[in-house]
Structure 1
Amino acid sequence: MNRMSQNVYDNEHFYKGYTKIRNNKLSYNEMIEMPVMKEELPEIKGKKVLDIGCGMGKFIQYMLELNPEQIVGLDIYNNMINNAKEHIQDERVTFVVSNILSYETEIKFDVIVSSLAFHYIEDFNLLMEKLNKLLANDGILLFSTEHPLTTATKQQEIWSHVESRFNHYKLDHYFEESARPIGWLDTEVIRYHRTIGTLMNTIIDNGFIIERVIDTGNTEMSLKLWDEEHIMKVNHRPPFLVIKAKKS
């Protein structure tokens, strides 16, 4: 199973819960992940951009301010694309309901971005092979994924607490690369755990040069706006991994 066979975001109960989380300005996305993605985004003025798993189009709204020539927003969920279309009416943007592995186009993209989608795709090698074909020569791939240190554990209760001593995040089954079902918003969601080495080597093996690897930690925004507990949890472990690579 991979993300393309999970219809959770087209389930109205799940979708409403997700939308509430995603629209929270104090969410992990806004406080931790997006500041890094925006910082690492290459020059896109006059460029063709593909956003994989574009969701409600929040990153696209930001990128439009940077004057790209064209953006294609790709997502497999009708709810997501319909939401994005409601909020973005710009002739430079095209929204497509499709999964990335079956997506076909004549466009060669200068930049491909993806926010927290790739850990839902089972075959990472096939994904990287596909992205290499979609990118123009010297094109840039920038994506975030749930950090392998967070996807490794098979336990549903991910934090342990020893009173008066410390909290710690559970790490187990790190080298067992497989599906990781989790309960989220009263729904079972399937993520795929891969080691950091597998991520790096698969990217390299498919014709990319890795330029940046970032373990996301607290940002100026999170340190200013979050409470002590949220800050502590991020200090204990990086929630996301951001990778920037160039097609060689």
Structure 2
Amino acid sequence: MKENKYDNEIFFQKYSQMLRSQKGLQGAGEWSELEKILPDFCGKTVLDLGCGYGWHCKYAADHKAASVLGTDISHRMLQKAQEINSAPQIQYQCAAMEDLQFPPETFDIVLSSLAFHYVKDFRPLAENIARWLKKGGQLVFSVEHPVFTSSGPQDWYYDEKGEILHFPVDNYYYQGPRKAVFLGEPVVKYHRTLTTYLNTLLQNGLTLQHIIEPQPPAEMMDIPGMKDEMRRPMMLLVSAIKD
């Protein structure tokens, strides 16, 4: 069974307190770089995989997308999305992205924000995305960086005074599940290498357009802990176009 921590009441309440949950796209450290690589949404059909609160769905709708389908495995996420990010051209569907089925060449744009690392098998999902995209269609997604997912716990190493020593990178080439801790709760994420992410797209007829390891924006550097995010990459942004 696919894990769905976000319908757990305690976990969801913790998630709702995050800056990106309260302030939306402006509260996401990667947004300033992600926005730069988003395509023109005007008149386009859009699919958002793992849409969460629906921030990216609303952004697409506000930029004149013809239709937007946001999918997520969490009922709680989608209920919140309906409350705060609804629009006439947006529909929300509760489903795991691995289980979705659409006819070939259904969408102009496929988006996904920090969700692919919850997917066990990336290859069949990439195959589906390539099939769902129209010729010339674009995929834009963010994931946790392979450096960040490699070891598992996703926490710093500290000295006896509680000061950060370094961030562990281990078992990088051993791809698969990792027992991580997110918001103080155990979560299973799936580590894969940078090579796997990028080559899987290339092997499915997608041409890479942008590969970005976003740094925290200057205006967020006063947030506690943000300066430490300069010590290792936490996220990876990728855009690609269907040949």
Fold agreement, TM-score > 0.5: yes
Pairs within 5 Å for 1:95-134: 95-106=92-103, 108-134=106-132
> 5+ unaligned residues in a row in structure 2: which ranges?
none
Pairs within 5 Å for 1:200-239: 200-223=198-221, 225-227=222-224, 229-231=225-227, 233-239=228-234
Q: CA deviation at 1:156?
A: 5.8
Percent identical: 30
Amino acid at match of 1:99: A
Amino acid at match of 2:68: I
Say yes or no: does 1:77 pair with 2:74.
yes
Q: CA deviation at 1:103?
A: 1.3
- Aligned pair in 2 of structure 1 residues 30, 81: CA closer, same or farther (>3 Å)? same
- 8 Å CA contact 2:144–2:235 kept in 1: the answer is yes
User: Which structure is higher in RCO with an 8 Å CA cutoff and minimum separation 6?
Assistant: 1
State which drifts further: 101-110 or 28-37: 28-37
- Aligned pair in 2 of structure 1 residues 208, 161: CA closer, same or farther (>3 Å)? farther
Q: Which runs of 4+ in 1 moved over 6 A?
A: none
From 6, 11, 30, the equivalent of 1:9 is 6
Say yes or no: does 1:67 pair with 2:64.
yes
Pairs within 5 Å for 1:12-161: 12-21=9-18, 22-25=20-23, 30-106=27-103, 108-155=106-153, 157-161=155-159
- 8 Å CA contact 1:31–1:219 kept in 2: the answer is no
> 5+ unaligned residues in a row in structure 1: which ranges?
none
In the comparison of the two structures, how many residue pairs are matched? Answer: 240
Could you tell me how far apart the structure 1 residues matched to 2:146 and 2:238 are?
13
Q: CA deviation at 1:170?
A: 1.1
TM-score by length of 1: 0.89
Q: CA deviation at 1:63?
A: 2.2
- 8 Å CA contact 1:217–1:235 kept in 2: the answer is yes
Q: CA deviation at 1:157?
A: 4.1
- Aligned pair in 2 of structure 1 residues 199, 161: CA closer, same or farther (>3 Å)? farther
What does residue 236 of structure 2 align with?
A: 241
- 8 Å CA contact 1:160–1:170 kept in 2: the answer is no
Could you tell me how far apart the structure 2 residues matched to 1:161 and 1:242 are?
32
What does residue 187 of structure 1 align with?
A: 185
Could you tell me how far apart the structure 2 residues matched to 1:39 and 1:210 are?
15
Amino acid at match of 1:236: R
Q: CA deviation at 1:86?
A: 1.4
Amino acid at match of 2:109: V
TM-score by length of 2: 0.91
- 8 Å CA contact 2:140–2:240 kept in 1: the answer is yes
Amino acid at match of 1:152: S
- 8 Å CA contact 1:154–1:173 kept in 2: the answer is no
- Aligned pair in 2 of structure 1 residues 28, 110: CA closer, same or farther (>3 Å)? closer
Matched residue of 2:211: which SS?
strand
